[in-house]
């Protein structure tokens, strides 16, 4: 017995020795690149500003700050909350942009179209000189090493980086403007987001006619902007989203599954949904309200968008009726930019009663809570929140998909119509028309979204995809550090800088990059061969006819 125990102990010791020796002899692959990169200064620039445009960029910047880099924010208004980003310094471009001062596009009853883009034109031209100088001066004052610019109508930031010869990273959630695909379009052009099942005439209209209309609409503005650029020795460029030849890397705050899949070149990367690591908790009042209601509808239209008095009143009436029908038992409405005067004084539900809106707005209704601001992610993340009525902005969409909350979308402007279509295609939302808002339609669609099992399955599927893809903001930070490292090796932007990412067609020109010269040569060769064959056949037929004896006999007989 003792001998057996001794043998067993010896075997165990021998096994441990062998394993230890094996482990000691193994080397492990290092997963973290050891970049010799000293702290750098990064400028984040956004002309439009606001939480939806700036916060995702700051969430990426927060990772870079943890790695020792310094971040300067240049934007409109005064955005940076010290509690979230205490080390970020801000340079203001001026007052916060008020969309309603640019023609009231978001609150008018007119269908959103080119007027929404044209509304920005005067504002951009008016502010370009001031913004360009502020971006340039901030870059010199803080010794900026890299520009990280939100690309939407932010030409001054993009141009300042180009003039100062600094590496430039673009940022947008709008893939179609940055990387257009032949089978995709956008409601801005009065087309569907997907042309996969469109007829030939619809594809022709959306691929040729509507883009040409857009070019003609934008041409006067682009011409004026390029004339202004000449005053600052900036070469002419595209407007709106930037020239890809000048941008080192384009980061897209979206993900395939929500965004229609397409091929992207290496210098354009989808890294969304970009979401913060932490989020503000529910206030005690909101927490008590939501905990006391098991089927809550959350309503919010962002910090910039409003709709009409008529639409606000129809929405309020639909909420009251949905509660009366026991479809939902609670509503949280974050009014934000919507004033309490933006409602009719009296609601007239279908049961014949009358309700004073003032009583609801003053939180006298036991099942409706009106707030100026709500910690949106915390509300959506609560298990009692079953439905989200939103304008369909990118930030709201990402938070809703991440928390698996179905959406009822009321698009009011910008990219929201396209987002609504994509959400419907994903099977997690239904949309409303701000031009034809109807109480019964709102209630019916709420009922479908709350009961349809397919909607619930799709919401779970999209939730998993959003959570997986949300980790890619670290890849975005890694890519920005690589650009900084590459530029330090190249001593700035020099010949061959980032050629490893730039597709060859960007250097070959339009004709060579698309092999049009090759296809042209093939076409000429084929036409030449076909023409030669036809000419040879024609000559052969003439020869046969001339040499045919029967033809000569018939001719002589006729004579």
Place of tokens 């502010």: 127
| Backbone angles phi and psi of 445, in degrees to 5 | -70, -35
Residues 6+ apart with CB under 8 A from 82: none
The Cα 45–Cα 54 span in angstroms is 8
Place of tokens 């295609």: 425
pLDDT given at position 106: 44
Per-residue pLDDT of the chain (559 residues; tens, 9 = 90+): 555 555 655 566 566 555 555 555 566 666 555 667 789 999 999 998 877 789 999 999 999 999 999 999 999 887 766 667 888 999 999 887 766 555 444 444 344 445 556 667 777 888 899 999 999 999 999 999 999 999 888 899 999 999 999 999 999 988 888 888 999 998 888 899 999 999 999 999 999 999 998 888 888 888 888 899 888 888 887 766 667 778 889 999 999 999 999 999 888 999 999 998 888 999 999 999 999 999 999 999 877 777 888 999 999 999 999 999 999 999 999 987 777 788 888 888 877 778 888 899 999 999 999 998 899 999 999 999 999 999 999 999 999 999 999 999 999 877 899 999 999 999 999 999 998 999 999 999 999 999 999 999 999 999 999 999 999 999 999 999 999 988 888 766 766 677 788 778 777 877 888 888 899 999 999 999 999 999 989 888 888 887 766 555 555 555 5
The Cα 109–Cα 252 span in angstroms is 31
Signed CA dihedral, 238, 244, 250, 253: sign only = positive
Every domain of the chain and the residues it spans: 284-469, 516-550
Assigned token pair, 117: 């883009």
Place of tokens 């990273």: 169
The Cα 67–Cα 339 span in angstroms is 43
CA 109, 395, 249: angle at the middle one, nearest 5? 115
Tell which residue, 356, 334, 321, has the closest CA to residue 289: 334
Place of tokens 């490292």: 485
Q: How many CB atoms lie within 10 A of CB 550?
A: 7
| Backbone angles phi and psi of 409, in degrees to 5 | -110, 130
CA 56, 254, 374: angle at the middle one, nearest 5? 50
What would the DSSP string read from start to end of 245-264?
TT-SEEEES--BTTBPP---
The answer to whether 156 touches 243, Cβ cutoff 8 Å, is no
The answer to whether 475 touches 269, Cβ cutoff 8 Å, is yes
Cα 7 to chain centroid, rounded: 67
Place of tokens 């257009």: 180
Signed CA dihedral, 545, 550, 556, 557: sign only = negative
Residues 6+ apart with CB under 8 A from 285: 369
The Cα 362–Cα 365 span in angstroms is 8
The answer to whether 15 touches 45, Cβ cutoff 8 Å, is no
Residues 6+ apart with CB under 8 A from 273: 253, 254, 255, 398, 401, 402, 466, 469, 470
The Cα 150–Cα 43 span in angstroms is 11
284-469 CATH fold: Rossmann fold (3.40.50)
pLDDT given at position 444: 96
Determine the length of the chain: 559
């Amino acid at each position: 017995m003792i001998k057996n125990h001794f043998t067993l102990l010896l075997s165990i010791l021998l096994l441990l020795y062998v394993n230890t020796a094996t482990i000691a002899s193994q080397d492990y692959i290092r997963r973290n690149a050891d970049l010799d990169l000293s702290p750098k200064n990064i400028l984040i620039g956004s002309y439009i500003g606001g939480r939806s445009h700036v916060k995702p960029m700051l969430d990426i910047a927060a990772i870079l700050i943890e790695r020792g880099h310094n971040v300067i924010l240049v934007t409109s208004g005064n955005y940076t909350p010290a509690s979230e980003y205490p080390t970020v310094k801000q340079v203001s471009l001026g007052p916060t942009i008020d969309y309603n001062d640019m023609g009231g596009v978001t609150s008018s009853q007119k269908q959103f179209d080119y007027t929404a883009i044209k509304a920005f034109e005067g504002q951009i031209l008016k502010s370009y000189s001031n913004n360009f100088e502020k971006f340039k001066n901030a870059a010199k004052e803080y010794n900026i090493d890299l520009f990280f610019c939100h690309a939407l109508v932010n030409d001054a930031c993009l141009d300042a980086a180009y003039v100062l010869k600094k590496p430039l990273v673009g940022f947008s959630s709008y893939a179609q403007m940055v990387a257009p695909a032949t089978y995709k379009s956008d409601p801005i052009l009065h087309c569907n987001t997907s042309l996969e099942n469109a007829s030939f005439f619809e594809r022709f209209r959306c691929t040729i006619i509507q883009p040409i209309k857009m070019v003609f609409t934008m041409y006067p503005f682009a011409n004026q902007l390029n004339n202004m650029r000449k005053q600052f020795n900036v070469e002419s460029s595209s407007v709106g989203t930037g020239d890809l030849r000048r941008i080192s890397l384009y980061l897209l705050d979206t993900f395939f599954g929500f965004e229609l899949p397409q091929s992207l070149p290496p210098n354009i990367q989808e890294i969304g949904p970009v979401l913060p690591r932490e989020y503000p908790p529910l206030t005690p009042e909101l927490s008590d309200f939501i905990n006391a209601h098991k089927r809550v509808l959350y309503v919010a239209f962002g910090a910039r968008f409003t709709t009409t008095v008529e639409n606000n009143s129809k929405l309020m009436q639909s909420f009251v009726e949905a509660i009366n029908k026991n479809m939902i038992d609670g509503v949280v409405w974050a009014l934000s930019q919507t004033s309490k005067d933006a409602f009719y004084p009296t609601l007239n539900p279908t049961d014949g009663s009358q309700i004073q809106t003032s009583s609801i707005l003053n939180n006298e209704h036991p099942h409706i809570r009106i707030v100026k601001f709500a910690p949106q992610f915390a509300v959506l993340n609560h298990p009692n929140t079953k439905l989200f009525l939103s304008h369909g902005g990118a930030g709201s969409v990402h938070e809703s998909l991440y928390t698996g909350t179905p959406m009822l979308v009321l698009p009011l402007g910008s990219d929201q119509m396209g987002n609504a279509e994509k959400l419907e295609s994903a099977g997690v939302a239904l949309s409303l028309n701000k031009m034809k808002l109807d109480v019964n339609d709102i209630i019916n669609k709420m009922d479908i979204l709350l009961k349809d099992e397919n909607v619930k399955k799709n919401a779970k599927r999209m939730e998993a995809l959003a959570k997986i893809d949300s980790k890619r903001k670290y890849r975005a930070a890694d890519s920005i550090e690589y650009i900084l490292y590459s530029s330090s090796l190249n001593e700035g932007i020099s010949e061959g800088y980032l050629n490893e990412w730039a597709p060859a067609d960007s250097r070959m020109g339009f004709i060579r990059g698309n092999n049009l010269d090759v296809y042209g040569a093939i076409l000429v060769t084929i036409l030449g061969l076909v023409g030669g064959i036809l000419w040879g056949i024609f000559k052969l037929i003439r020869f046969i006819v001339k040499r045919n004896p029967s033809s000569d006999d018939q001719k002589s007989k006729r004579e």
